[in-house]
A and B are shown apart, each in its own frame.
Chain A
């Protein structure tokens, strides 16, 4: 399915992800985090049917379990004793706190999985070109060189194997030496060749005047509206957060989980912020239905 959110200006996407990550690590409250995770899963589902997330499953699960266990293991603070292992107190506070952190971290990682689908290297490059043009060129060159270097390494290893030199045969010491000789050959060879790359840049006028950029991404009305929407919501949430709402105090005494009015206000804004891409997809789907 076509991805409507991906068609927004990169700045919008970038702002959304930066904001979402900040929210996930700032708004430590079980209800907030739980709902956020649901939304992020939906987001991933819409973007790539969870296939990206599936690749991270092992990492996500271990992180989750580790974080839940780790906190109660080291932390005996809290009033509500759940049980004791030997002399070690396992408290409700510790478990809740560990759980919140676990949710927050895997939420962030899941968000990055979606980020990797939406923010293609081109978009990031485009953003960099706007604020750091010289660095953007460096990044572009590096991105172009990485696959080249990989292919060259592969070639080096084939050619060297034909000479009887290989990293998979022989003693450990010999293999390390050979591997490093491969990298060294890659270095000398590539630096030798790259002079021509620099000449070709110069020949095409690099550094003569301020670079412009072939605009792929126009800032359209929809982008303006999106930015306004996101900025307003984010400011609201941060305002609430600064006064202690949308945040569960666990230590020294755990608050009740109940939400005050302002908490609910923050939660609503929070969910509206995170669901922004979902709204976009849903709107697109709706319009598509209408036109058919």
Chain B
């Protein structure tokens, strides 16, 4: 009998006609690393929560869930045997400082203080977190917060670890760190890990078993290499990362490459002569500068360190600019300065050659649309429709049909009467975008628009942005998503320590980089001068050579 076994599980939420989990059966062996993925609403979270008695949602449950030979419904709840880490790092924290956060679970199970201390000492050592112990939890970065959450769960010495999209809110570096930690736990301690995740390129190499869910059912399951071709042929093709994607789109033969290493050896054999292509002529840019930052410096408090230091930037009309850079390099701050939401301490920001403070507040807002990282805070009204009406009243717009066609165009006409918080991440973002676009801004500033989006929503977002860009919108976005920037932007910039250290068209920008570049570029790096960067490029080149 498998360690975790689900037989014909069906779960229906109250007030819902369709079940969230539909006659699902599943087996997981002890010590396995299982990755669960699927579009939002496919039932991943529900399934994970059903495994843990304490947090099972209300509703009607049928079928059997057996863990370690014990039916879950009959247990009292196994707080210390199953650890659960949630998506949002912030929401899980209950204490003001790190130490209290870590021991929260241990206090709950009434562990005596001496044992608590030795466990904490051990865990702190494992995480290398000595310096964090005395810190206030709200001063930590998202990645560190999530590590603390993990540590707090691990202190209870679970046998099974369940994680519900734990890295969705993290940047790539923290994601890597977090996943490496999971790998160690699996390898070195044999912990059974069940992880919901949609950035598959990160987890393919870790997982023993991959499960794709759709409509509350298991659609595909198996080993990564076996599963990928099946995903490629399903509706979820967007989930396939670029290296296996390249392989599959070229109809490659043999085993599917997952890593850059495997990719390179395959490319050497199969695609030896496809990458010599003439440089694509990029669309000529208008030379008019739309927003110009003139050696601006900024800090949040007096006596604090400067976040931005003598930063210069020109954003030209019609550009699609992607600003890359690590966490805390000042990208978000810079975006706020460009939107006039913060004032630089030194230097100025010009819009159409006129300083920002020469504009009236509403004149500036009219021209610049700013999409925040967390679109939930965008909405003051309790339905999307009301928010749109409020926006129309504010900007004295009369044509209601325009709003409707905009919603239809963005593909969210069906959520008009919903509460903003009931929307999925992608829908919410589009709804906020719709409210922005109503006032017809000339520039769009987007703060990490791809954060937490699943691949399908990401592609939809790209299509929308490209459409806007084609219609003449100037777009500036900050992002961690290298693949996204390489594929869609017309210009990329790198932010480092409060300054923009390099900028160029994506092709040249990424060519110079060693670490900070796309997977495809890494594969082709040494083969040619003009190594392609994206899957699209390779495909195009192949098509042209074959003709």
Contact = CB atoms under 8 A, between A and B. Distances in A.
B112 A196 contact: no
B107 A163 contact: no
A205 B79 contact: yes
A88 B362 CA distance: 61
Given A155-B377, A181-B380, A203-B55, A144 B95 contact: yes
Nearest to A190: B91
A129 to B, nearest CB: 9
A58 interface: no
A109 interface: no
Contact of B111 (A159, A161, A181, A212): A212
Main secondary structure of the interface of A (DSSP, over half): helix
A141 interface: yes
Given A147-B138, A162-B341, A212-B110, A196 B88 contact: yes
Interface residues on B, range: 35 or more
Contact of A162 (B79, B105, B339): B339
Contacts of B156: 204-205
Contacts of A206: 104, 108
Contact of A205 (B80, B86, B362): B80
Interface string A162-175: 11111001000000
A152 B377 contact: yes
A188 interface: yes
Contacts of B94: 137, 140-141, 144, 197, 200-201
B104 A204 contact: yes
B80 A200 contact: no
Interface in A110-164: 121-122, 137, 140-141, 143-144, 147-148, 151-152, 155-156, 158-164
Interface in B79-132: 79-80, 83-84, 86-88, 90-97, 99-100, 103-113, 116-117, 120
B232 interface: no
Of the candidates B95, B110, B149, B377, the one having the most CB atoms from chain A within 10 angstroms of its own CB is: B377
A215 interface: yes
Contacts of B379: 185
A95 B241 CA distance: 84
Contacts of B80: 205
A210 interface: yes
Contact of B86 (A148, A159, A200): A200
Nearest to B439: A164
Contact of A200 (B91, B111, B372, B435): B91
A212 to B, nearest CB: 5
A154 to B, nearest CB: 10
A211 interface: yes
Contacts of B113: 212-215
B196 interface: no
B341 A211 contact: no
Contacts of B97: 122
Contacts of A210: 110
Interface string B317-351: 00000000000000000001001011000000000
B377 A189 contact: yes
B54 interface: yes
A255 interface: no
A188 B421 contact: yes
Interface string A11-34: 000000000000000000000000
Interface in A184-201: 184-185, 188-189, 192-194, 196-197, 199-201
A209 B109 contact: yes
A86 interface: no
Given A158-B342, A208-B108, 4 more contacts: A159-B374, A185-B380, A203-B84, A212-B112
23 contacts: A140-B100, A144-B137, A144-B138, A163-B378, A164-B362, A185-B379, A185-B380, A196-B86, A196-B92, A197-B91, A200-B84, A200-B92, A202-B55, A203-B52, A205-B105, A206-B108, A207-B108, A208-B79, A209-B108, A211-B107, A211-B110, A214-B117, A215-B113
